[in-house]
Amino acid sequence: MAGDLTPRGGHATRTAAATAVNPGATGHATAWSVASGPRGRAASSNEWRKRLEIAFFVAPALLLFALFVVVPVVQAARYSVFKWNGLGPLDDFVGLQNYTNALADTIFQRAITNNLTIAALSIAIQLPIGLLIALLLNRKFRGQTAMRVIVFVPYVLAEVVAGVVWKLMLQPEGAVNAFLETIGLGAFTQLWVGDSGVALWTVMAVLTWKYVGLAIVLLLAGLQGVPEDLHEAAQIDGASWWQAQRKITIPLLGPTIRTWMFLSMIGSLQLFDMVWILTKGGPDNATVTMATYLIKQGTERSQYGYSSAVAIILFVISFVLATLFQTFVLNRDAGEDKTAKRRKKVAR
Amino acid sequence: MKRTAALRAVALGAAVALIATACSSGGGAEEGTDGEGENVTLTWWHNSNNSPGKDYYEDLADEFEGDNPGVTIEVTALQHEDMLTKLDAAFQTGDHPDIYMERGGGELKAHVEAGLTKDLTDELPDTISALGTAVSGWQVEDRTYALPFSLGVVGFWYNKAMFAQAGITTPPTTTAELDAAVEALRSAGIEPVSVGAGSGWPAAHYWYYYSLRQCSQEALNEGTQSFDFSDPCWLRAGESLQSFIATEPFNTGFLGTEAQGTPESASGLLANRKVAMELAGQWEPGVMQGLTDDGQGLGDDTGWFPFPAVDGGEGEPTAQLGGGDAWACAEDAPAACVDFIEFLLSNDAQKRFAELDMGLPTLPSAAAFVAAPELAQVLAVRNEAPYVQLYLDTAFGENIGGAMNEAIVSMFNGNNTPQGIVDAIQAAAANE
């Protein structure tokens, strides 16, 4: 299970499959049979053929990756050391000035804080909710499929559509306040997106509604890998449902939870659409994120050099956090997997 | 087998070569036509994407084509915001239209510095002098780069019925009377003013106007030309705004309210009779019409009064804040572009523009043809103003203007001081 979730495992499987179904000119000699066949001229020519095939199939993807990922990142790095309003030639070299200006800017500092807060809160809020709902939905009951669909719908909805609907509902005279009035909770009506003390929490609530479905679906998939007989054994030993979940299911869900945490963290750092639609980073920068800040500085204030520096900072922060997470958290799962295999070998 | 593959490769190569040749010869033919100078195609982007404006501009293009054989005008009508975004991108890629709309100030300056906009000073001296002081917002170092076809001013649009309901018989002419009106409206259970602080600039217009009233024209010029804000009038402007905010005149949730576009926006609240007034430009009646079900906006209840005088202010009480739209030619546009712009600013074209109530025409000869009474009133106030100050954010350009607007919104949120606004402008200017 854990092996399937890591990208490395997935890729290896796919490459092997692609090579295997590709018959060579000399018959049906596949990579597998070549590897185990006798070494010689034919083998080495096949080796070359294999490499060419790989190059042939990888080239388009590599080209697109270079064109749409590598080139823009390099360009952004280049722009970031110039003062540039988007017009005319790049001739005002300012070195690291844009970086120091960005890091000293109180609004950008606030954006970083907001992003980290959203990342931490997403995990702290969505994990318990997601876990609880996944555990409940994993039990067999009538309407189980319907419930799963309902829970997953917000995640499938386009971010822009969901954002616009929520924005309308969160207006001072919108549906949310009207609903609170109707059920006698008039005292709790708020300026949901118009009050700088409340707006970030509102955004957080909408994000939870939107993304908890993903956590649930991933966790439900993870739950399929938890063997039923362990539960039966626990039941026979007299464990309650909750004890069984706590001692057996949740620990076995570890790799899934950690993968979801990784996705959630990266998503939170790059958060843009929902905030842009709900608040545009306002009111008074209360909900500004690194991405909304960089778009505003670029498109509204025409500071393309400066916003490129911000983009690079965002890239570095995401990259560092992703690497740390990969090294200290996700690799542990890969490690566990290897240990398990080794144990199996020893047992044989 | 090998031979077949080789043959295939040769065939493929030949095909590629043929296609390449075909392409290049096609390109050559086109260049030839251009080079002869008989046929010229002008590309033109404007922002009147619905009738009657769209038809008006199409008619103008047809008439010009009729009078100038060989000239073809490719008209693209875009929604305003789309046009601005597309223009920005077009200038960056170099694939921009020949004729486009300039809003003046810092934006124009950036275009001129990048060598993108044609200098019209020596090309159209007669039209420039006919436009008079209206062109000042489109000049950089005394050279004129674009010709304004519409120039409006900002003032209070209000609901006459609501004012009457609150017992306000004459619109406020001083800030004290404005405060009293706010009070009267609140007492009558009416939300007095809407402001789209979520969009930034609508809130910022208040600070611009208080600056215009508090500062003499010299101090205003010192600030806007050389970022010298040492005159204490700039702080008094912030203080005036602070005390106006303290009277709580604005709509519920104004910090998150957008300028226009939806019924919940500041314009939408006025159009749908949720508030009594809004500080906005000459575009407001048109915007409101789009935000009501019957397409009438406030209809007969539409009223307008200029921004009131400020007690003790050093500025002219009748000076106005405004801005407009002008036609410009790209630096590399064909010569016919200049002729077309001259045609767009002709007496006849401006007269028809005025008759359609598309905006406030800039040629004095066209002023008499504005039909809508409230627009005629705005036009009269504009023409009587000793000077019309270009919106400060446009004047300063996008970066400094953006920093200023954010600082002002922060004051609306109670998080900034009069000094903080001035500091924010100077800090952004220092980074230019």
Interface test with B, best of A82, A83, A85 (most B CBs within 10 A): A85
How far apart (Å, rounded) are the C-alpha atoms in residues B291 and B287?
Answer: 7
Outline where DSSP puts E strands in B309-380: 320-329
Q: Is A281 left (phi over 0), alpha (psi -120 to 50) or beta?
A: left
Q: What per-residue confidence (pLDDT) applies to A197?
A: 92
What confidence tens digit (pLDDT) does each residue in B212-265 have?
999 999 999 999 888 999 999 999 999 999 999 999 999 999 999 999 888 889
Which chain B residue's Cα is nearest to A88?
Answer: B114
Q: What per-residue confidence (pLDDT) applies to B407?
A: 96
Q: Is B264 touching A (CB cutoff 8 A)?
A: yes
How far apart are the two ends of chain A, measured CA to CA in Å? 21
For residues B278 and B190, state if they share a domain. yes
pLDDT (mean) for B39-46: 93
CA dihedral B343, B348, B352, B357 (to 10 degrees): 80
How far apart (Å, rounded) are the C-alpha atoms in residues B79 and B237?
Answer: 35
How far apart (Å, rounded) are the C-alpha atoms in residues A139 and A128?
Answer: 17
Among B406, B337, B50, B46, which residue's Cα sits nearest to residue B197? B406
Residue B374 has pLDDT above 60, yes or no: yes
Kindly report the nearest CA distance between residue A194 and chain B, in angstroms: 4
For residue A300, give the nearest of B92, B257, B402 by CB distance. B402
Sequence spans of domains, chain A: 98-347
Say what percent of chain A tops pLDDT 70. 83
Instruction: Say if the Cβ atoms of A191 and B431 lie within 8 Å.
Output: no
Q: What per-residue confidence (pLDDT) applies to A142?
A: 85
Question: What are A34's two structure tokens?
Answer: 């070549």
Q: How many CB atoms lie within 10 A of CB B81?
A: 10
| A188 Cβ contact partners less than 8 Å away, ≥ 6 residues apart | A180
Q: Is B409 touching A (CB cutoff 8 A)?
A: yes
Question: What are A303's two structure tokens?
Answer: 């500071």
Which chain A residue's Cα is nearest to B199?
Answer: A280
How far apart (Å, rounded) are the C-alpha atoms in residues B253 and A283?
Answer: 10
Tell me whether residue B376 is exposed, middle or buried, using C-beta atoms within 10 angstroms of its C-beta: 0 to 12, 13 to 18, 19 or more. Answer: middle
Among B240, B246, B247, B292, which residue's Cα sits nearest to residue B270? B292
For residue A284, give the nearest of B92, B399, B415 by CB distance. B415
The DSSP bridge pattern shows strands B155-159 and B275-280 to be antiparallel
Residue A16 has pLDDT above 80, yes or no: no
**Cα of B359 vs its chain's centroid, Å:** 11
For residues B36 and B169, state if they share a domain. no
| A100 Cβ contact partners less than 8 Å away, ≥ 6 residues apart | none
Instruction: Say if the Cβ atoms of B264 and A87 lie within 8 Å.
Output: no
**Cα of A202 vs its chain's centroid, Å:** 21
Q: Check if the beta carbon of residue B285 is closer than 8 Å to that of residue B375.
A: yes
| B157 Cβ contact partners less than 8 Å away, ≥ 6 residues apart | B270, B277, B278, B280, B284, B285, B288, B298, B302, B303, B304, B374
Residue A1 has pLDDT above 60, yes or no: no
Residue A338 has pLDDT above 80, yes or no: no
DSSP notation for A208-220? HHHHHHHHHHHHH
pLDDT (mean) for B401-423: 96
How far apart (Å, rounded) are the C-alpha atoms in residues A223 and B419?
Answer: 59
How far apart (Å, rounded) are the C-alpha atoms in residues A226 and A220?
Answer: 10
Tell me whether residue A102 is exposed, middle or buried, using C-beta atoms within 10 angstroms of its C-beta: 0 to 12, 13 to 18, 19 or more. Answer: buried
What confidence tens digit (pLDDT) does each residue in B90-125 have?
988 888 999 999 999 888 998 999 899 999 999 999
Q: What per-residue confidence (pLDDT) applies to A186?
A: 86
How far apart are the two ends of chain B, measured CA to CA in Å? 67
Three-class DSSP category at B386: coil
For residues B281 and B258, state if they share a domain. yes
Chain B residues whose beta carbon lies within 8 Å of the beta carbon of residue A193: 253, 256
How far apart (Å, rounded) are the C-alpha atoms in residues A288 and A344?
Answer: 51
What confidence tens digit (pLDDT) does each residue in B68-93 have?
999 999 999 988 878 888 998 898 88
Q: Please report the ipTM that was assigned to this predicted complex.
A: 0.80
CA angle B62, B65, B70 (to 5 degrees): 150
pLDDT (mean) for A57-62: 94
Which chain B residue's Cα is nearest to A98?
Answer: B431
Identify the DSSP state of B306: P
A24 or A261, higher pLDDT:
A261
Question: What are B25's two structure tokens?
Answer: 């010869």
What confidence tens digit (pLDDT) does each residue in A121-151 have?
999 999 999 999 998 888 888 888 888 888 8
Q: What mean pLDDT is reported for chain B?
A: 88
Chain A residues whose beta carbon lies within 8 Å of the beta carbon of residue B91: 86-87
Q: What per-residue confidence (pLDDT) applies to B428?
A: 92
Enter the CATH code of domain A98-347: 1.10.3720.10
> How many domains does chain B divide into?
2
Q: At what angle do helices A106-137 and A144-156 cross, to 10 degrees?
A: 170
Three-state secondary structure readout of chain A: CHHHHCHHHHHHHHHHHHHHCCCCCCCCCCHHHHHHCCCCHHHHHHHHHHHHHHHHHHHHHHHHHHHHHHHHHHHHHHHCCECCCCCCCCCCECCCHHHHHHHHCHHHHHHHHHHHHHHHHHHHHHHHHHHHHHHHHCCCCCCHHHHHHHHHHHHHCCHHHHHHHHHHHCCCCCHHHHHHHHCCCHHHCCCCCCCCCCHHHHHHHHHHHHHHHHHHHHHHHHHCCCCHHHHHHHHHCCCCHHHHHHHHHHHHCHHHHHHHHHHHHHHHHCCCHHHHHHCCCCCCCCCCCHHHHHHHHHHHCCCHHHHHHHHHHHHHHHHHHHHHHHHHHHHHHHHHHHHHHHHHHHHC
Q: Which domain holds residue B33?
A: 5-151+324-381
Q: Is B254 touching A (CB cutoff 8 A)?
A: yes
Q: What per-residue confidence (pLDDT) applies to B20?
A: 40
Residue A174 has pLDDT above 60, yes or no: yes
The DSSP bridge pattern shows strands B71-77 and B40-46 to be parallel
How far apart (Å, rounded) are the C-alpha atoms in residues B28 and B34?
Answer: 10
Q: What per-residue confidence (pLDDT) applies to B111?
A: 92
How far apart (Å, rounded) are the C-alpha atoms in residues A183 and A179?
Answer: 6
How far apart (Å, rounded) are the C-alpha atoms in residues B183 and B198?
Answer: 24
Residue A247 has pLDDT above 90, yes or no: no
Residue linked to tokens 């109670």: B414
Among A31, A67, A69, which residue's Cα sits nearest to residue A48? A31
Identify the DSSP state of B250: B
Q: What per-residue confidence (pLDDT) applies to B243?
A: 95
Q: Check if the beta carbon of residue A189 is closer than 8 Å to that of residue A131.
A: no
Q: What per-residue confidence (pLDDT) applies to B285?
A: 87
Q: Is B347 touching A (CB cutoff 8 A)?
A: no
Q: Check if the beta carbon of residue A281 is closer than 8 Å to that of residue A287.
A: yes
CATH number, domain with residue B228:
3.40.190.10
How far apart (Å, rounded) are the C-alpha atoms in residues B210 and B245?
Answer: 12
Residue linked to tokens 């549906």: A175
Question: What are A186's two structure tokens?
Answer: 């008039």
For residues B177 and B215, state if they share a domain. yes
Chain B residues whose beta carbon lies within 8 Å of the beta carbon of residue A301: 398-399, 402-403
Q: What mean pLDDT is reported for chain A?
A: 83
Q: Say which amino acid occupies A131.
A: L
Three-class DSSP category at B372: coil
pLDDT (mean) for B38-62: 89
